[in-house]
């Protein structure tokens, strides 16, 4: 393929994947409201749209009640009065919601979504992605996720509100603190696969997911992701008991909706990253014979990740800010550092052949 054809393909695939993801974000909000309602013995959204099914008793049964609730929410946000407070920094105030949404979409560029689908993946690439074959894919993900903090911090600063600026300051401290542990946990799959290409990391899990080799790294990564997302119980930058709505308290209408969109899109993006790094990505039974199954497997893994995040939100109370920072610096970071050092030593010793004589001796002893 010529450079122009590669760019055109990336543009078309990127548009399709982004459109599907934005649509999925809308229904992630419905999924969360339904699951939270089920966990808390409530009904949840059940009026905006349903499929009527007649019954023998004559009473109509409502299937998929609330299926159009995301559309109703979108219409409300589009037509809601969007007021700009006085004395805000108007350029930064309008730019901040975009800086929150754009990184959540850009992360998708290097995520492998399926294997070698003949009519979708051009040579010499081995997997389907918006931008396949990026040999520094993990570094790209780390760089893009780091940009997300600017949207939150600048939103707080530009709003000219004490509550908003405190929320922004909390966000910057929280995200920077937990990024350290997250970065160290991401290094484990890189070392195991000997590559920063996301497709190579998935291929290296053909005979076993990395979560079974390194459950500690998977747990650290999952906790750090929850803090990066500012999801409960780590949502201290939106703690309404002391900060009202926090960094976005001065936003309304669709500009508030963009922050809302960024949170749920990041949930999907980071679930996809977790699935790729630790849970085999698009790999699953018969995926080599039927590559299209890759789309199904990674979608299932993303949905499971979303359900776990929702379950955690429903189950744990919000931490105090000092507890949040202490956990990040005194527990999560030391565990991530120790795990990284031990894993590096083990891999070097294995490469030098230190473990082979020990394994042979054990096998000989068992054979006796």
The DSSP secondary structure of 257-320, one letter per residue, reads HHHHHHHHHHHHHHHHHHHHHHS-TT--TTTTT-TTHHHHHHHHHHHHHHHHHHHHHHHSPPPP
Whether the pLDDT of residue 239 is over 70: the answer is: no
* 95 CB-contact burial (10 Å; exposed 0-12 / middle 13-18 / buried 19+): middle
* 1-5, 296-300, 350-354, range with the lowest pLDDT: 1-5
Per cent of the chain over pLDDT 70 is: 98
Looking at residue 358, its pLDDT comes to 78
Query: Is the distance from CB of 150 to CB of 159 less than 8 angstroms?
Result: no
Give the pLDDT mean for 230-239: 77
**How many CA atoms, within 13 angstroms, populate the side-chain half-sphere of residue 1?**
14
Nearest alpha-carbon partner for 77 in 322, 278, 215, 255: 255
Looking at residue 368, its pLDDT comes to 63
Tell me the C-alpha to C-alpha distance, in Å, between residue 191 and each of 6, 197, 203. 30, 12, 14
Looking at residue 192, its pLDDT comes to 92
61 band by pLDDT with thresholds 50, 70 and 90: confident
Give the pLDDT mean for 255-266: 85
Strand, helix or coil for residue 124: coil
Whether the pLDDT of residue 243 is over 70: the answer is: no
Per cent of the chain over pLDDT 90 is: 26
The DSSP secondary structure of 239-257, one letter per residue, reads -HHHHTTGGGTT--HHHHH
Residue of higher predicted confidence among 212 and 255: 212
């Amino acid at each position: 393929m010529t450079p122009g054809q590669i760019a055109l393909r990336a543009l078309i695939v990127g548009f399709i994947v982004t459109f599907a993801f934005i649509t999925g974000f809308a229904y992630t909000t419905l999924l969360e409201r339904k699951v939270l309602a089920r966990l808390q013995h409530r009904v949840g959204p059940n009026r905006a749209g349903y499929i009527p099914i007649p019954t023998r008793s004559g009473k109509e049964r409502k299937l998929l009640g609330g299926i159009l609730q995301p559309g109703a929410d979108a219409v409300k946000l589009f037509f809601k009065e969007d007021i700009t407070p006085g004395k805000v920094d108007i350029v930064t105030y309008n730019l901040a919601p975009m800086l929150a949404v754009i990184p959540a979409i850009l992360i998708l560029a290097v995520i492998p979504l399926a294997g070698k689908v003949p009519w979708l993946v051009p040579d010499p690439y081995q997997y389907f992605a918006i931008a396949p074959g990026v040999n520094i894919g993990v570094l790209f993900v780390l760089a893009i996720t780091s940009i997300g903090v600017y949207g939150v911090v600048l939103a707080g600063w530009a709003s000219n509100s004490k509550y908003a600026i405190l929320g922004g300051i909390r966000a910057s401290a929280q995200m920077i603190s937990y990024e350290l542990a997250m970065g160290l946990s991401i290094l484990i799959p890189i070392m195991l696969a000997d590559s920063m290409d996301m497709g190579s990391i998935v291929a290296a899990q053909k005979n076993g997911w990395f979560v079974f080799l390194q459950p500690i790294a998977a747990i650290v990564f999952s906790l750090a992701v929850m803090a990066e997302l500012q999801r409960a119980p780590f949502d201290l930058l939106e703690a309404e008991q002391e900060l009202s709505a926090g960094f976005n308290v001065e936003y309304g209408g669709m500009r508030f909706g963009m922050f809302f969109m960024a949170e749920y899109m990041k949930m999907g993006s980071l679930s996809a990253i977790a699935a790729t790094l630790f849970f085999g990505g698009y790999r699953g039974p018969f995926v080599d014979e039927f590559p299209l199954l890759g789309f199904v497997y990674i979608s299932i893994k993303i949905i499971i990740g979303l359900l776990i995040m929702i379950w955690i939100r429903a189950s744990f109370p919000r931490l105090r800010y000092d507890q949040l920072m202490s956990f990040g610096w005194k527990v999560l970071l030391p565990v991530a550092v120790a795990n990284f050092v031990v894993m590096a030593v083990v891999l070097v010793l294995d490469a030098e052949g230190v473990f082979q004589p020990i394994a042979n001796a054990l096998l000989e002893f068992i054979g006796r």
